[in-house]
Structure 1
Amino acid sequence: MINWPEQLKRDLISRRVVVFLGSGVSKNSVGKDGETRPPLWSEFLERGLAKIGSKGTAHIRRAIKDNDLLHACEWIKSRMEEEWEHFIRECFITPAYAPAEIHKLIFNLDQRIYLTPNFDQIFENYVMSETGGQVTVKRYSDPDVHNFLREDRTHIIKVHGSIDHPNELIFSNHDYAKARVSYSAFYDVLDACLLSHTFLIIGCGISDPDLSLLLENQRFNFPNSRPHYLVTSSHIAPDMVKSLRSNRNLKCLCYDPDNHHADLVRSLEKLVELMDQVPAQPLIN
C-alpha cells in the first residue's frame, strides 16, 4: 500500500494537484471483445513492426530492443505511409475500450486539471459520460489551451494530441521537435503549471522527452521547490529513485505491482476516501 505524503493530501484537498495519467492507466481497460487491451508504446511499435514485415527492419527491431522508441516509431511511420492512420485507429479506437476502475478512481480525486499523453479517449469519454459533458478537453495545439490554468472548470489536456487529429499526434523525434518549436507557448504553460501545482504522475514511464525536459528545467531553475510525485512499481531500482529525486525533483511512491496492480487500486481508494470528506468542486460551464 502506498504511504501517501501528507503534503500531497493537503494539495489534493486544496485542489492544487495536476493528475498526469499515462498509458499504464489505459492498460487496465479491456475492449468489447473482453480480451484486447490498449498497447503500451513498445507493444504498439512491435505491432507496427509486424505490419511492415521483416525485410530491411533489423535496425528498427534493434532500436525497440534498445528502448530507442522515438526513432523506431519514426521509421515505422515512414514505412506505413498512408496506412499509418488506420493502424493507429486499429490499436486505440476500434476495440472500443471500456473504462476501468482506475479511471473512475482518478476522476474521483476531484481535481481541476488532468494531463495525459494518451491518444485513446478512454478517460475523457468516461468523464464526459459522468458529468454530462461538463468538462473541457483540449489538445496542446489548441490556441486557447492555456485557459486551463485560470478557469474553474475541469480540464483534460491531451499533451500529445488526440486520435481525432492524427496529423497532430506526437510520436516520433520529428514530432517532438516540431511541437516544441511550433507550440513553444504550450510548453511555457506547462512550465507555469509545474510551478503552481503539484504533479501526481500515474501509469507513466520516465522516458518521455517532453516531461523529462520540463522536470529537469524546473529542478535546476527552482531548486528549492517542493517535489512532484511519481507513482511507480516497487521494482524500480533504488539508484533510479535517487536519480529521479536529484535530477527531476520527483519523489517515487511505490506499490506492489503483483495481482494486476491491485495494490495501486487500493491505494487510490484511500485517496478517494479522503476526497469524499471534502465538499465537491462545482462543475462550471
Structure 2
Amino acid sequence: MTKYLDYFPPPFLEDMVRGRCIPFIGAGFSLNAQLPPGVLMPDWDGVGRRAAEALRDYSYTTAIEALSTYEHEFSRVKLTEFLVEALNASVIQPGSAHDAFCAIPFDRAITTNWDFLLETSYARAGKYCMPIVSEDQLAVQGDRAWVRLLKLHGDLNHPNRIIATEEDYDGFLTRYPLLATYLSSMLIDNTAFFIGYSLDDPDLRQIWQLIKDRLGGLRRPAYVLQIGASPQAMARFERRGVKVINLPKSDQSYSQTLTTALSELRDYWTASLPLISTSADPESQAELSLPNFAKNRLAFFAVPTALASFYKQQVYPVARRQGFTPVMAIDVATVGENIVAKVQALLEKSAVTIADLGTANTIYELGLAKLTSAGPIIVVTTDSSTVPIEVPELQRVVRPLVLDDQGIDPLSLGFVEALSARLAAAFLTISPTLTSEPQRLLDQSEFRAAIMSAFSLLEHELAQAIERLDIPLQRHRAGPVSFREMLNALRPFLADDLIQRLLDHASVRNRVAHSAVDVTRQTAFAIVEDVATAVAQLELARDR
C-alpha cells in the first residue's frame, strides 16, 4: 500500500519509467543531511544572513547580495572557506532522503548544490557517480552504468566554478555556454523534476528562465515536489509553467515524508519497467509480464560481454533444465535504454542472480544484487579472483580463465556441471511456491497475474516432460519451441479436450500479456484449474 504515489500525475510517472525525466536537486534537499548533535544545517537564506553578520555596517537584503558583498570585502578564497564552514561540509553525511533518491535508477541528475552529499550517497549505494563540474567533462561518456551528476553551480572543491554571487549569476551564460546548451538539449525531450527548490530560489528561477529562453513554448512539462504548499504558492508556480506535486503534511517529518515518497517512486519504476520491456525469447517475455508480487523463475545472468556467447550456448540450456528462465540485460529491450534502471529492475524481479565477476560492471551488478535481490546469488570467479563482498562458499563457483564456446574442453564442462548443481539447489528453494502460486494469486483476486503464473508453470512442466520422457519433436522451423508444438508432442499423455481448452486459454493469456484487458474470476479459475489438471496428468506420465 503506497502513501504518496497517487499524488504524482500519471504523465509524470510514465515519463520517469520511460527514462524521460531529469531530476534537479536544490539547496532545500541538503536540509535532510545527517549532522552531529547541536549542529544545524542552514537554508539558503540562513547562509546569506550568516555572511551578513561578518560585514560591518551592512543591512541584509538577499543571500546573493550578502555573498557578493562578502567576496568583494574579503576575496573569493575567503568566500569559499566561509561556505565550507557555513555548510558544515566536513561533518555532514547524507540522510535517509538522499539514500532514497540515489536508489531511484536515474542515470542523469542535475544539482545546484555545492556539497558532496549526493556523491557520498551514491557511493554508499554501490553506484559510481561521475560529477561533471567543467565544460570539458561533457564529452566524457564513461560507462553506461555510471550516474552522470551535472553540478551546474560547481562545488566546494572548485572555487572558481562556484556560482554564488551576482557576478557569477549574471555571467553564467557567457562564461559557460556549453553547459547552458547541454542543459537545454537534455530538456528538449525530458521532463524536469525539481526537488528541494522554493519559488524564491534564485537557482530555480535562473534554470527555468534559461529553459524558457532556449526552448520557449516547445519545452516539456516541469514538476516541482512540495510538501504542504499553500494554494498561493502553488498558483505562483503554475503561473510560471511549473506544475506542483504537493504532498500532504503528516505526523512524519519533512525528511521522512521525502524518504517515503522517493522510495515509492523507486519501487514503482522498478516494478513497472519489466512490464513494458520486451524480450525475443517467449519464456522470458512471459516471466517479465508477471507483476513483481508474483513468484517467477527468472535467472538473471550478470556476465562480461566477452563471455555472453558461452553462457548463452552452454549455460542457458542447463538453467532451463533446472527450471529457470535465463535472461541477461542485453536480452531485454527497455524504453529509453537506461541501463541502470534495466539492471536494477531485472535484479529485483529475478528469482536467482548469477554474477560472473570478470569485469568492473559485473562487480557493480553484484553489489546491486546484494542490496536489492531477495533471491539467492551465485557468484562465479576464477581461481585467482577475490570476491569484493561476503558470499557463502556454497554459492561460489570457480571457472577456468578461458571458456570453450563449444563445450568440449573438460575444464569448461566441469564448470558448467558445478554451476548446474548450484542452480538445482537454488531451484529447490523456490519450486514449491511456483507450483502453488497460480492458486495463491487466484485466491487474492489477482486474476491477470494468476493466468500468467499458471502458464509459466505449465510451459515449464511441458518442457520438463518432453525432456524426461525423451519425446522427439517434429519441427519444420527454427527458433524456440512453441506452446502448440509442446502440446502436440505430449498428446499421448494429455486428454484431447484438455489440449483444446489449453490452446483456447493460450489466446486469453496472450491478450493478458499484451493488453490491459480485464479478466473475470470465472475465466481465471477455469485456466488455473485446467493447468493444474495438465500438470497432474504429466506427473502421472513421468511416474509410469
Class of the TM-score when normalised by the shorter of the 2 chains:
0.7 to 0.9
Task: Tell me what 1:125 maps to.
Answer: 120
CA drift of 1:151 comes to 5.8
Aligned partner of 1:100: which letter? G
Q: Distance in 2 between matches of 1:110 and 1:241?
A: 28
Tell me the residue number matched to 1:197. Answer: 190
Richer in helix (by share): 2
Q: Which moved more, 1:263-272 or 1:117-126?
A: 263-272
SS at match of 1:131: coil
Which of the numbers 22, 33, 36 marks the counterpart of 2:26? 22
Structure 1's 20 and 35: CA in aligned 2 closer, same or farther, altered over 3 A? farther
Distance 1:177 1:281 in 2: 40
Report the AA paired with residue 246 of structure 2.
C
How many residues of Structure 1 are paired with residues of Structure 2 in the alignment? 269
1:111 shift after superposition: 0.8
SS state at 1:230 partner: strand
What SS does structure 1 have at the residue aligned with 2:49? Answer: helix
Superposed CA deviations along residues 229-272 of structure 1, whole A, max 9, x for unmatched, are 1012333343x43443343x311011235642133332222212
Question: 2:258 corresponds to which letter in structure 1?
Answer: L
The 3 A distance-change label for structure 1 pair 229 and 108 is same
Larger RCO (alpha carbons 8 Å, 6+ apart): 1
Partner in structure 1 of residue 248 of structure 2 = 256
In structure 2, the residue matched to 1:56 is 57
CA contact under 8 A between 1:109 and 1:271: conserved in structure 2?
yes
Residue of structure 2 in register with 1:233 after alignment: 227
**Residue pair 2:52, 2:66 contacting (<8 A) in 1 also:** no
Question: Residue type of the partner of 2:186?
Answer: C
State the match for 1:179 in structure 2.
172
1:216 to 212, 216, 226: 212
- Give the match for residue 269 of structure 1: 263
Q: Secondary structure at the match of 2:253?
A: helix
Compare 208-217 and 179-188 and name the one that shifted more: 208-217
TM norm structure 1? 0.83
Match for 1:98 among 87, 93, 100?
A: 93
Counterpart of 1:158?
151
Offset, 1:146: 5.5
SS of the equivalent of 1:88 reads: helix
Q: Distance in 1 between matches of 2:8 and 2:89?
A: 37
Q: 1:233 to 1:38 in 2, by over 3 A?
A: same
Query: Does residue 42 of structure 1 match 2:35?
Result: no
Structure 1: tracts of 5 or more residues without a match? none
Residues 25-70 of structure 1 show CA distances to partners (whole Å, capped at 9, x for unaligned) of 1101122x23424322111111112233xx3202xx1x13xxxx32
- Contact 2:22–2:192 at 8 Å: present in 1 too? yes
| SS of the residue 1:196 aligns to | coil
Distance 2:145 2:247 in 1: 32
Runs of 4+ displaced beyond 6 Å: none
Larger Cα-atom Rg: 2
Hey, what's the Cα distance between the residues in 2 that align with 1:267 and 1:221? 30
Cα distance in 2, alignment partners of residues 146 and 200 from structure 1: 24
- TM-score scaled by structure 2? 0.46
- With over 3 angstroms needed to count, the CA separation of the structure-2 counterparts of 1:263 and 1:46, relative to structure 1, is same
Report deviation, 1:75.
Answer: 0.9
Offset at residue 93 of structure 1 (A): 4.8
Asked whether the 8 Å contact 1:146–1:186 carries over to 2, the reply is no
